[in-house]
Structure 1
Amino acid sequence: MSVTLILIAANVVVSLVALYALPQVFEKGMMMPYRVIRENTWYELISSGFIHAGIGHLFLNMFVLFFFGLVLERSIGREHFIALYLSALVISSLPSLFQHKDNPEFATVGASGAVESVLFGFILLFPLDPIYIMFIPFGIPAIIFGALFLVYSVFASKREGRINHEAHIAGAVWGFVYLIIFVPNTVDHFLSVFGLL
């Protein structure tokens, strides 16, 4: 069975249990940097990635993971894909961990950081493939979509809000970094797409 589908199933099951059956799973699983630092609950960097704030949050993350994860998993292999995803859960949590380590009120949940790693891994391998967004009747080349997404995330991160843009940015960057460092021939493939190799 596909790792992508297993991850989607795990996210759905854990999120639904945390939201509707066992609220203590939500409480213990979310990432609270203040608690992580003081109580050494480092598992939260991963557990929080399997819990979502609501059905809409869960659906959006799993929708993106389904469409880009299946392609990326086939392209880089199951082992690299699971390593990318799990490492991205940790890496994308680090900005929030350091930024909010002294704030006992801050908490975050969701797979967005890992999903952004998958999306940006796809963008690196298929930079000219079109990405379609609701209400826009044409595809945007993946590399342009990625650049616009990062610019938006950087500006949005300056404002207070419920969306953890720092996790999105860290996850996106890690998607590039992981493939460049660990997946052979990634840079050569990227250059060849543009006829530079």
Structure 2
Amino acid sequence: MIQQYLYATPVASIIFALTIGFSLYLFSNPQYYGKYMLHPYGIHRDKSKLYTVFTSGLIHKDWMHLIFNMMTFYFFGFSLETMFVQFSGPMGHFWFALLYILSLVLSDIPTIFQQKNNPGYYSLGASGAICAILFSFILFQPKATLGLFMVIPMPAYLFALLFLGYCIWASKKAQDGINHDAHLFGALAGLAITLLLYPWAFRHFIGQFF
């Protein structure tokens, strides 16, 4: 089973394993959280800390945070890499890796600028990149059934609209300690990068409704 995943979806398999492994390591060594979390204040004053844009995407706050993100990645990341390979052959693996890494960076840029003067602000988690994966998937499968809160079934396109609306509202109003901007800009980055890679995806998306 593991060999099948590594052969068919090597990039998703590596991301999945690295994220779980690194998160579990920090669960057992919490003293290193400050070193690997995104800290816009620190980045603004010391560019050598830019590596935290990447390492913060490999670590999670707790088990619930990790399980939720990895379940979402498992259901959509592996499928999306398979689709990219169907579209582009072996280059599909590279495009999938590019989508994930670039979305991870782009999802954090607004936060870095907004919080650059806030020494107490830290952020962690792969949610920005995973939102990119989810929205890229929705672009190809807009009528797939997704579960709101993993319970209420609805078509993927409706889920996407509700999700974007909530992220916009929450980024302005919510005080829950969640980086909703990363979710929003990650989702938008996923759509933009996918359309740059596969411009025909927009016609495909519209065509699903007519």
Q: Paired residues, what number? A: 192
> Taking every aligned residue pair, what percent have the same amino acid on both sides?
38
Q: 2:51 matched to which residue of 1?
A: 43
Q: 1:10 matched to which residue of 2?
A: 18
- Mapped partners of 2:169, 2:80: distance in 1: 28
- Mapped partners of 2:177, 2:206: distance in 1: 37
- Mapped partners of 1:185, 1:114: distance in 2: 22
Q: 2:35 matched to which residue of 1?
A: 28
- Mapped partners of 1:90, 1:42: distance in 2: 10
- Mapped partners of 2:41, 2:75: distance in 1: 35
Residues 1-197 of structure 1 aligned to structure 2 (within 5 Å): 1=6, 2=9, 3-21=11-29, 23-24=31-32, 26-40=33-47, 41-76=49-84, 77-133=92-148, 134-136=150-152, 139-158=153-172, 159-195=174-210
- Mapped partners of 1:31, 1:21: distance in 2: 17
Deviation of 1:95 (Å): 1.2
TM-score normalised over the length of structure 2: 0.87
**Equivalent AA in structure 1 for residue 121 of structure 2:** F
Deviations 1:103-147 (A, max 9, x none): 0000000000000000000111111111124332xx311010000
Higher helix fraction (1 or 2): 2
**Equivalent AA in structure 1 for residue 167 of structure 2:** S
Deviations 1:20-56 (A, max 9, x none): 13632x2211000000110111111111000111111
CA contact (8 A) 1:153 1:166 kept: yes
CA contact (8 A) 1:45 1:89 kept: yes
Deviation of 1:184 (Å): 4.6
CA contact (8 A) 1:80 1:183 kept: no
SS state at 1:83 partner: helix
TM-score normalised over the length of structure 1: 0.93
Extract unaligned runs of 5+ from structure 1: none
**Equivalent AA in structure 1 for residue 163 of structure 2:** F
Extract unaligned runs of 5+ from structure 2: 1-5, 85-91
Please give the root-mean-square deviation of Cα atoms over the aligned residues, in Å: 1.3
